[in-house]
A and B are shown apart, each in its own frame.
Chain A
Amino acid sequence: MKSKTILIALMVYTSVNFAQKIKGSDTVLPLSQKEAETYMKTNKAAKITVTGGGSGVGLAALVDNTTDIAMSSRKIKMDEKIKLQDAGRPYKETIVAYDALSVIVNNSNKVSQLTREQLEGIFTGKIKNWKEVGGDDMQMVVYSRESSSGTFEFFKEHVMNKKNYAASVLSMPATGAIVQSVSQTKGAIGYIGLAYTDKSVKDLKVSYDAGKTYIAPSMETAKNKTYPIVRPLYYYYATAVEKAVKPFVDYVLSAEGQKIVEQVGYVPLSK
Chain B
Amino acid sequence: MLSSSITSLTVVLIVVFLFKEGIGLFNQKPVEPGYVIAINKNNKVKELSSVQLKNIYDQKITHWSEVGGTHDSIVLFQLEDISNYYSDEQIGDNMQNLGSCMSRLVDSLPNIIAFFPDKYLDKKFQGTLLEVDKVTLHDFFAGKEWIPTAKPSAQLGVLPLILGTLWVSLGAILLALPLGLAAAVYMSEIANERVRRIMKPLIELLAGIPSVVYGFFGLVIIVPLIQKTFDLPVGETGLAGSIVLGIMALPTIITISEDAMRNTPRAMKEASLALGASRWQTIYKVIIPYSISGISAGAILGIGRAIGETMAVLMVTGNAAVIPHSILAPVRTIPATIAAELGETSNGGLHYKALFALGCILFLITLFINLTVEFISNRQKHNKH
Task: Give min CB distance, A93 to chain B, whole Å.
Answer: 16
Task: Give min CB distance, B257 to chain A, whole Å.
Answer: 33
Known: A163-B58, A168-B320, A180-B219. A173 touches B315 (CB 8 A): yes
Task: Determine if B340 and A60 form an interchain contact, defined as CB atoms under 8 angstroms apart.
Answer: no
Residue A12 at the chain B interface, CB threshold 8 Å? no
Q: Contacts of A168 on B, CB cut-off 8 Å? A: 320, 322, 330
Please pick, from A80, A162, A163, A185, the residue contacting B235 in the complex, using a CB distance under 8 A: A185
Task: Give min CB distance, B358 to chain A, whole Å.
Answer: 13
Task: Determine if B147 and A148 form an interchain contact, defined as CB atoms under 8 angstroms apart.
Answer: no
Task: Determine if A162 and B32 form an interchain contact, defined as CB atoms under 8 angstroms apart.
Answer: no
Task: Determine if A147 and B341 form an interchain contact, defined as CB atoms under 8 angstroms apart.
Answer: yes
Per the CB 8 Å criterion, the residue count for chain A at the interface is 48
Task: Determine if A146 and B57 form an interchain contact, defined as CB atoms under 8 angstroms apart.
Answer: no
- Give A47-91 as 1s and 0s: 1 = Cβ < 8 Å from B's Cβ atoms: 000000111110110010000000000100111111100000000
- The A-contacting residues of B in range 324-357, CB under 8 angstroms, are 330, 332, 336, 339-349, 351
Task: Determine if A163 and B344 form an interchain contact, defined as CB atoms under 8 angstroms apart.
Answer: no
Known: A56-B344, A162-B151, A167-B321. A82 touches B33 (CB 8 A): yes
Residue A149 at the chain B interface, CB threshold 8 Å? yes
Q: What is the CA–CA distance of A172 and B345 in the complex, to the nearest angstrom?
A: 17
Q: Contacts of A77 on B, CB cut-off 8 Å? A: 32, 346, 349
Known: A53-B343, A60-B347, A124-B58. A162 touches B78 (CB 8 A): yes
Which B residue sits closest to A149, measured CB to CB?
B344
Task: Determine if B57 and A148 form an interchain contact, defined as CB atoms under 8 angstroms apart.
Answer: no
Residue B208 at the chain A interface, CB threshold 8 Å? no
Q: Contacts of A186 on B, CB cut-off 8 Å? A: 233
Residue B258 at the chain A interface, CB threshold 8 Å? no
Task: Determine if A54 and B349 form an interchain contact, defined as CB atoms under 8 angstroms apart.
Answer: no
Task: Determine if B330 and A170 form an interchain contact, defined as CB atoms under 8 angstroms apart.
Answer: yes
Partner-A contacts on B (CB < 8 A): 32-35, 54, 57-59, 78, 117, 145-151, 160, 219-220, 223-224, 227, 233-236, 314-315, 318-322, 330, 332, 336, 339-349, 351
Give me 18 other A-B pairs in contact (C-beta within 8 A), A78-B34, A167-B146 excluded.
Answer: A54-B344, A56-B344, A57-B344, A59-B346, A124-B58, A148-B351, A162-B78, A164-B54, A167-B145, A172-B319, A173-B315, A181-B219, A181-B223, A184-B235, A185-B233, A185-B234, A187-B233, A187-B234
Q: When A and B form their complex, which 3 residue pairs have the shortest distance between CB atoms, in order from nearest?
A: A54-B343, A148-B344, A60-B347
Partner-B contacts on A (CB < 8 A): 26, 53-57, 59-60, 63, 74, 77-83, 124, 138-141, 146-150, 152-153, 162-165, 167-173, 177, 180-181, 184-188
